[in-house]
Every structure is written in C-alpha cells, then in structure tokens.
Chain A
Amino acid sequence: GAVVSQHPSWVICKSGTSVKIECRSLDFQATTMFWYRQFPKQSLMLMATSNEGSKATYEQGVEKDKFLINHASLTLSTLTVTSAHPEDSSFYICSARLQGLNEKLFFGSGTQLSVL
C-alpha cells in the first residue's frame, strides 16, 4: 500500500537554529500534501496546504516566514522551522493526498521537535 515517509522522526536543536523536516510519498505522486502540528494532549492543527509547484497556503495564525514549506516535486514536501524557539517544540505530521475516485490521505509517522 501507499506509504508516506517522514524524516527525521525526532530532532533536538538549539534555539535560533533551523530544522528541516521531509515528507516523501514513496510509491505514489502527491500533488497535495498537508502539514499538521500537534501539541501534547491536543488535536492536530492544520498548518498549511502544500501544492506541487506552487506556494503553500497557510492557515490563519501560522507564520509563513517561520514555517517554510517547499513542494518541489510530486513526491517530496519539506517543512523548515526557521530560527526555532522553545515554543516551536511540537509534534509535526505530514499527510499526502492520493488522488482518484477513492481519494485517500496517508500520514507520515511524525517528527518530534524539541528546541532547547
């Protein structure tokens, strides 16, 4: 079945540094990918919708200059947390959309970001 690979699964970084998270659809082409953020004991909050070859669409309240999203190919989307701060520590999950009559969404395994 379709698989979405998200890397890294966890990362610890110093405050002020940037972190890149990759989301790959391994055996299908995903024209649309979604990035979610999850705070402890809370739901997944949609951050942005990423369409291949175009600029990402950010949800209200999400800083696009802080959370840079690039979807340069049909199988890869990246989320870069720039100048990370402790409040950016969270669990980030990507989702890739498999188009078709029976549309499906597949999720990566998530990335736990801890900013010291």
Chain B
Amino acid sequence: AQSVAQPEDQVNVAEGNPLTVKCTYSVSGNPYLFWYVQYPNRGLQFLLKYITGDNLVKGSYGFEAEFNKSQTSFHLKKPSALVSDSALYFCAVRDLNQAGTALIFGKGTTLSVSS
C-alpha cells in the first residue's frame, strides 16, 4: 500500500530564512512524487513533481525538492522564505507503475513565515 508521512503539523520560519518541509513515502514500485500548496478555502496548486532523473527538482515560486531514494524522502525546500509562502503544503505519491491511480496525500504541513 502507498502512504505518505509529513511528520510536522506546522513549520515556523522567519522571512528570509531557508525552509524545509519534510515528507517520506512508501510505495511498492517506483514513486511518482508531488508537492502541492493550498491557500485557505482554495483548491490545490501544483508546485513540483519528481518522476525520474535529477534528484533535485525545481518548481514554482522558488521551491525545490530533493528526492532521496535510500531515505524514501522528498523534502520541500526554499532558500529564502517569504511571508506569502505561508500556506498548507501537501506531499503526495503514487506508484509510477500503476497508471491511472489516484494520488495519496500526506496530512499536510502548515507553513508559517513571520516578518
């Protein structure tokens, strides 16, 4: 069975500091990994994804994520946080070899960036 763990309910950082939102996953085959951001009462916005290739994936709004197969992790990072980055972030996974299946989401991590 596929699963995603986001161990932190909330991450607090000061504006200008680097941020990391953690994610670990479990799939039986090769992972297809995503990060989404959700603003209050809104749908999900795609940030980035990993399928194959370079372990460091760059996405929207200056975010990036690093795929680590040995640690089964896909942590979201940004070198310098902005107050406007404050939102709810979801990591998601599906088995790359199971085409057409839905994404399985982590519980979400609330990012709070203070000025």
Contacts and interface: CB of A to CB of B under 8 A. Distances in A.
Interface of A: 6, 10, 32, 34, 36, 41-46, 49, 91, 93, 95, 97, 103-110, 112
A45 to B, nearest CB: 8
A109 B42 contact: yes
Contacts of B90: 43-44
A95 B105 CA distance: 13
Nearest to B36: A107
Contacts of B41: 10, 91, 110, 112
Interface of B: 34, 36, 41-46, 90, 99-108
Contact of B100 (A44, A97, A110, A112): A97
Nearest to A59: B102
A99 B101 CA distance: 12
Contacts of A109: 42-43
20 contacts: A10-B41, A41-B108, A42-B107, A43-B107, A44-B105, A45-B105, A46-B102, A49-B100, A49-B102, A91-B41, A93-B44, A95-B102, A103-B99, A105-B34, A105-B103, A107-B36, A107-B43, A107-B44, A108-B43, A110-B43
Contact of A32 (B34, B42, B100): B100
Nearest to B42: A109
A43 B106 CA distance: 6
A64 B103 CA distance: 20
Given A42-B108, A107-B36, A93 B102 contact: no
A93 B107 CA distance: 15
A104 B90 CA distance: 16
B43 A93 contact: yes
A35 B99 CA distance: 17
Contacts of B104: 46
Contacts of B36: 107
Contacts of B34: 105
B75 to A, nearest CB: 18
Given A42-B107, A43-B106, A46-B104, 17 more contacts: A10-B41, A34-B102, A34-B103, A36-B105, A42-B108, A43-B108, A44-B44, A44-B105, A46-B102, A93-B43, A97-B100, A107-B43, A107-B44, A107-B45, A109-B42, A110-B42, A110-B43
